[in-house]
Amino acid sequence: MEVFKRRTFLITVLLLLIFAGNTLASDGNGVDTGITAWMLTSTALVLLMIPGLAMFYGGLVRTKNVLGTMMHSFAAMGIMTVLWVIFGYGMCFGPNTLGGWFGWSNDLLFLRGIDTEVNNGVPDYVFSMFQGKFAIITPALIAGAFAERVSFKGYAIFIALWGILVYNPLCHWVWAEDGFLFNMGANGAIDFAGGTVVHISAGISGLVAAIYLGARRGYPKTSMPPSNLVLTMIGAGLLWVGWFGFNAGSSVNSGLDTAQALTATQAAAAAGAITWMIIESFHQGKATALGFASGILAGLVAVTPAAGVVQPSGALALGVIAASLCYIAILIKNKLGYDDSLDAFGVHGVGGITGAIMLSFFIRKSWMIEAASLTESGTWTIMQQLGVQVAAVLISIVYAAVLTLIIMIVVDKTIGFRSPAKNEMQGLDASYHGEHGYGMLNAS
């Protein structure tokens, strides 16, 4: 969503043209049907990532937990959407409240105020729905860190609180026009499609939660092999496809910057995948499918904040670096012994941090020139931007970690979060949902 500021001038010119009233692409409400078409599509693509994530995670857990794990993603679709419509959008994109902690506007309750609003050629509803998908996927990502060991009720309450107290403020800071990170440095902290807001916040929160909740019974002694890597691979495929909406949609355009974001996304995903494949081949003698998928994710995560500012060569580099660092991070985790079940921190946390910081070295020249033109001194260096990036990353980390810990404790002490041992052994599916995933396994 970086695009807003950069396009200000352009948009002013365009708006003049629109209201000159002589174009078809406007349908009389100032709508650009082309941009709107791509934003609608992007919204669908990002929604597709939720079942994609459900499959990715669902395939990695043990058979008895597959539905429970998928429900972590699906429940987020339900809960976060309803909250978003009622007041979440307002908290993210309303004007600063409580000193800028989050946004608010009564007018945005139930999205009432935007029923016929159009901005920059796109109906506000579309922007709101597009953004709402990010509010769904972020808590769903966290669930990977404590997979296979939480109560469904506890989870449902947790993500509701987390969305309100962690996601919405962060989103406001980074993407709202009056958010303080949006206005840091010359031209803002760069977070094109959610490196800090989505991946770092989810990764760090997952880490905190995994440590707070403790490991799964038997971990790490008992191995817990994936129940369905085929499902995981399909999930990875859908995530890649959906990420086009995630990143290219974040341009809120259907133009050059959209194309640049799409290209960077594709390049980084591929580079990440190949890097992981090669590392694993040398390290373990075999290139696993899960490794390939993990590399895809590492690349995609790293390019998320960067997609608007890096060229293809930079995107390739980010993919390579992120996959390498995530690979190492997971090896270290295995040493440290905490149980981040599906590596939410190892991939999203590490990949997000890598991307948000390393992007500084691959920024497109034109962006730097524009940034410089916005400073008083007329100069702006990579190191200065690096400082802004590091600051934004640290702020996200600290905020997400502290708030998550508080929410965890509250939920765990009141209604309970961690599964009782009996339920964990029975599996989430039987304990919390009264079902099991693969009936076909048993003759009947």
Partner 1 sequence: MKLITAIIRETKLDEVREALIENEITRITVIRVSGHGQQTREHIYRGKRIVPGLIPKVKLEIAVNDDFVDITVNTIINSARTNENGEVGDGKIFITPMEECIRIRTGERGGKAI
The site string for partner 1 over 15-44 (x = CB under 8 A, - otherwise) reads: ------------------------------
As measured in angstroms, the least distance from the Cβ of 58 to a copy of itself is: 6
Check residue 324 for interaction with a copy of itself (CB under 8 A). no
Spatial separation of the C-alpha atoms in residues 34 and 17, rounded to whole Å: 16
Spatial separation of the C-alpha atoms in residues 187 and 190, rounded to whole Å: 8
Exposure string (b/e) for 185-195, b if CB count within 10 Å is 16 or more? Answer: bbbbbbbbbbb
Residue written as token pair 């307002």: 90
Footprint of partner 1 on 110-139 (CB under 8 A):
none
The site string for a copy of itself over 279-308 (x = CB under 8 A, - otherwise) reads: --x--xxxxxxx-xx-xx------------
Among 24, 223, 256, 365, binds partner 1 (CB under 8 A): 223
Which tokens go with 101?
């902690």
Residue written as token pair 């107290």: 165
Check residue 58 for interaction with a copy of itself (CB under 8 A). yes
Residue 297 is which amino acid? L
Q: Which stretch binds partner 1 (CB under 8 A): 199-207, 362-370, 404-412, 428-436?
A: 428-436
CB nearer to partner 1: pick between 235 and 427: 427
CB nearer to a copy of itself: pick between 27 and 107: 27
Footprint of a copy of itself on 169-198 (CB under 8 A):
none
The answer to whether 411 touches 417, Cβ cutoff 8 Å, is yes
Check residue 29 for interaction with a copy of itself (CB under 8 A). yes
Q: Let me know how long the chain is.
A: 444
The answer to whether 232 touches 55, Cβ cutoff 8 Å, is yes
- How many chain residues are in contact with partner 1, going by CB under 8 A? 35
SS3 243: helix
Spatial separation of the C-alpha atoms in residues 67 and 80, rounded to whole Å: 19
Check residue 434 for interaction with a copy of itself (CB under 8 A). yes
DSSP E strands in 118-221: the ranges are 118-119, 122-123
Residue 13 burial by CB count (10 A; 0-12/13-18/19+): exposed, middle or buried? exposed
CB nearer to a copy of itself: pick between 24 and 383: 24
Check residue 26 for interaction with a copy of itself (CB under 8 A). yes
Among 222, 256, 336, 413, binds partner 1 (CB under 8 A): 222
Q: Which residues contact 116 (CB under 8 A, 6 or more apart)?
A: 29, 123
Q: Which residues contact 366 (CB under 8 A, 6 or more apart)?
A: none
Check residue 214 for interaction with partner 1 (CB under 8 A). no
CB under 5 to 8 A by kind: which of partner 1, a copy of itself, none does 330 bind?
A: partner 1
Residue 234 burial by CB count (10 A; 0-12/13-18/19+): exposed, middle or buried? middle
Check residue 112 for interaction with a copy of itself (CB under 8 A). yes
Spatial separation of the C-alpha atoms in residues 12 and 241, rounded to whole Å: 33
Q: For residue 119, which phi and psi values (nearest 5 degrees)? A: -135, 130
Check residue 331 for interaction with a copy of itself (CB under 8 A). no
CB nearer to partner 1: pick between 20 and 443: 443
As measured in angstroms, the least distance from the Cβ of 117 to a copy of itself is: 9
Footprint of partner 1 on 293-332 (CB under 8 A):
294, 327, 330-331
The site string for a copy of itself over 79-98 (x = CB under 8 A, - otherwise) reads: x-xx--x-------------
Footprint of partner 1 on 346-385 (CB under 8 A):
346
Which tokens go with 244?
């086009």
CB nearer to a copy of itself: pick between 45 and 344: 45
Q: Which residues contact 114 (CB under 8 A, 6 or more apart)?
A: 108, 123, 124, 125, 128
The answer to whether 148 touches 216, Cβ cutoff 8 Å, is yes
As measured in angstroms, the least distance from the Cβ of 392 to a copy of itself is: 26
Check residue 111 for interaction with a copy of itself (CB under 8 A). yes
CB nearer to a copy of itself: pick between 291 and 355: 291
Among 6, 343, 408, 419, binds partner 1 (CB under 8 A): 343
Positions that interact with partner 1 (CB under 8 A): 64, 217-218, 222-223, 225-226, 279-280, 283-284, 286, 288, 290-291, 294, 327, 330-331, 334, 343, 346, 425-427, 430, 433-436, 439, 441-444
